Amino acid sequence: MENIVEHQSFLKRLTVIDWLYAALLCTGSLYAFSAYGKHMDVYEEAILLLAGPTFAFLGWHWKPMRWLMPLLAILSLFAISQYAGQLDLASKKFFLKYLLSSQSAILWMSTFFFLSTLFYWGGLIARSDFGASVGSGLCWAAVVMGATGMLVRWYESYLIGPDVGHIPVSNLYEVFVLFSLITAMFYLYYEQSYKTRQLGAFVLLVISAAIGFLLWYTVSRGAAEIQPLVPALQSWWMKIHVPANFIGYGTFSLAAMVGVAYLLKARGVLADRIPSLELLDDVMYKAIAVGFAFFTIATILGALWAAEAWGGYWSWDPKETWALIVWLNYAAWLHMRLMKGLRGQVAAWWAVIGLLVTTFAFLGVNMFLSGLHSYGTL
């Protein structure tokens, strides 16, 4: 009975704007289905039709989605119109060259993330609400530009050739952008939910580290160039396995940086500038819980994909083995939290060490080991 009352109360809180936002998304999904459905398989059609209600629901719970989704649609569709079906126009048209081509937009994203980190730290050290507010705004700007860049990159891949076109989550360059966006989005959600911007200084550090690697990788290896998919990646499984995986990586990284803030607070470093230990503990727990749920889903999807691609659900490939280690690590963390009441510095240290384990599973395997998942080697 209580759940029914809460559900009715939630629906009553929805405004006309909420319903218009949902109608707009669903209309857009239906239009895309009617225009491009003939180019999709049944799984892609299902994903497209579910996208509208899913993002509408997210927008009802987190209001910034109501302006973010339309803005991304406007920017990406404007960029697509500028191409006029010719990829070489990216270096000739002003808005594409300097703002909205995938590489330009992702470079703007990188710049905004670096600046956001500086302003968050400036606000934290100087106890300046203005600095933290600017840092938050720059973080949002980075999300807008990065997401636009990824959407435009998706279109650019089809301009190279219909057989080349694919969702941009297939190599290290693309997944580092994805990781940065997911981590930032979850942080911004918690920033609004807990009404504190003090954690931005810590979380943006791991995002800036990812951006630093991304820029190095781009300059040294020409990684921004769009490449055709290898045969094993030419599967609809990739469209859901990789994003689910990186929700796990992003939230685990966020939890680790909150763990760093917890340890500094507990030792009296910046103690009066960092939120309470109780708040930090709650954010850390919720981030790991969300990450574990999505990482579990990603692992199951990966096993199904492996069965289709290689004929077996599990092969003890290095990537699979380290994914299992990551899963067991956070399963143990949550078990100790829920069953034994794990709290305090032990939980924070565990979350921080978990980032090292996650980083090796994410990147170290590609650097030092080889196997069936060696698609993004350094």
- The per-residue pLDDT for range 124-160, each reduced to its tens digit, is 999 999 999 999 999 999 999 999 999 999 999 989 9
**Integer Cα distance of 264 and 282 in angstroms:** 16
What CA–CA distances, in Å, run from 98 to 104, 106, 185, 208, 315?
Answer: 6, 11, 25, 22, 45
Judge contact between 233 and 156, C-beta under 8 A.
no
Residue type, 13: R
- Cβ–Cβ < 8 Å for 256, 351: yes
pLDDT of residue 2: 46
In whole angstroms, how far apart are CA 306 and each of 8, 294, 373, 375?
Answer: 43, 18, 10, 14
Write down the pLDDT at residue 378: 58
Q: How far apart are CA 200 and CA 355, in angstroms?
A: 17
How far apart CA 374 and CA 282 sit, in angstroms, is 36
Q: Which two tokens stand for residue 96?
A: 């594409």
Give pLDDT tens digits along the chain (378 positions): 445 545 557 777 888 999 999 999 989 888 888 887 777 777 778 878 888 889 999 999 999 999 999 999 999 999 999 998 888 888 889 999 999 999 999 999 999 999 999 999 999 999 999 999 999 999 999 999 999 999 999 999 989 988 888 889 988 899 999 999 999 999 999 999 999 999 999 999 999 999 999 999 888 888 888 888 887 777 878 888 999 999 999 999 999 999 999 999 999 999 899 999 999 999 999 999 999 999 999 999 988 888 887 777 778 888 888 999 999 999 999 999 999 998 999 999 999 999 999 999 888 877 766 655 555 555
Report the alpha-carbon distance of residue 323 to residue 341 in Å, rounded. 26
